[in-house]
Amino acid sequence: MPVVGIIDLEVAFPAGRRTVREMHELSGRPVADILAWTHCPEIPVFGPDEQAWELQADIARKVLDRADIDPSDIGQVIVGGGGDWDRPSWSPAAKIAAELGVTRAHCFEVLNFCSSSSAALQVASDAIALGRTRYSLLLFGERVARSIDYTDPESVSLFNVGDAAAAVLVGSDNVRFDLLRAQTRSEPTWSDFLSGEIDGDRMVIRLRGRRRGISALYLERYQDLVRETLRALGLTPDDVDHFVINQVDRRMHERLLDTLGIPAGRSVFNYHRLGHMSSTDPFIGLCDLRDAGRLADGDLVLLATSGFGFSWGVTALRHRA
């Protein structure tokens, strides 16, 4: 089978912002309480006149142009997320394909919430390895922030959620990151802990109680998947050069690194400037590494994701200079 991996990728952010001061005024929670979750004074969000699909299409065009890929060679256009698209009952993948001139692809969505990046990478890499398509264009980014109820003081742990977009080109030619292995798993008994409900003319996300043990479960699942992934590759945590994780909870991030024995200097921390950008988080971290010149030939990169459901994913990549 051919070596499948990421050929190129790009991320972008909307112009809109939600500030901690606004969150405080709406919720009544002290600014310090909110900053304990956001770690930054404002979060990127799509404004009322911004369309997520347009931002995705813009960066997808840049990626295709840089890779010199004809849109007619794209066999899959996949949009990953939780389903909070610009319009209900609508395919953003098809809309973006039409905008880019991709006319011979299967266009569809993968819904696994913040772990959609792991799921979509698996779907795309399997299709390419089996010869079903030559290239897959993966797109991430939706209007998640509009589902946060800032007037609910009990939802403060969700106030760090924001919006961004990512475009990832997957194939087997001129690969920049070899996709070595991916492990995914769900804990279905936790499916009702977080869910949406209709509130007036919009859907909002609600915490369903305060179930004990969620932090311990997160750590356990992440540890298991990281170790399974590395063991299958004949590697150990000492071999990990870069660990990129969803930027949900800095404390949990630090505990996981400590438990695995991976130094914090080998991870990506952007809490000081961004919140949790849903399914785009791992690609923001990967672009951060690339743009900062921190990637060397042969570096092992682990992308770790988690999302509603609850699902976890760990993807191992090998960088090619």
Looking at residue 210, what is its pLDDT?
A: 63
* Bridge-based pairing state of the strands 17-19 and 42-44: antiparallel
- Between CA 271 and CA 245 the distance in angstroms is 11
Looking at residue 86, what is its pLDDT?
A: 95
Looking at residue 211, what is its pLDDT?
A: 62
291: left (phi over 0), alpha (psi -120 to 50) or beta: alpha
Contacts of 171 (CB under 8 A, 6+ apart): 4, 5, 7, 128, 134, 135, 136
Looking at residue 209, what is its pLDDT?
A: 65
Q: List the strands of the sheet with 106-111, edge to edge.
A: 106-111, 74-81, 135-140, 165-171, 5-12, 177-186, 311-319, 300-307, 242-245
Amino acid found at 164: A
Judge contact between 230 and 288, C-beta under 8 A.
Answer: no
Enter the tokens of residue 180. Answer: 């070595």
- Between CA 229 and CA 67 the distance in angstroms is 29
Nearest in space to 301 (alpha carbons), one of 167, 310, 312, 287: 287
Looking at residue 292, what is its pLDDT?
A: 96
pTM: 0.96
Residue owning tokens 């992934």: 229
* pLDDT < 70 stretches in the chain: 1, 209-211
List, for residues 269-282, the tens digit of each pLDDT value: 999 999 999 999 99
- Burial class from Cβ neighbours inside 10 Å (0-12, 13-18, 19+) for residue 40 reads middle
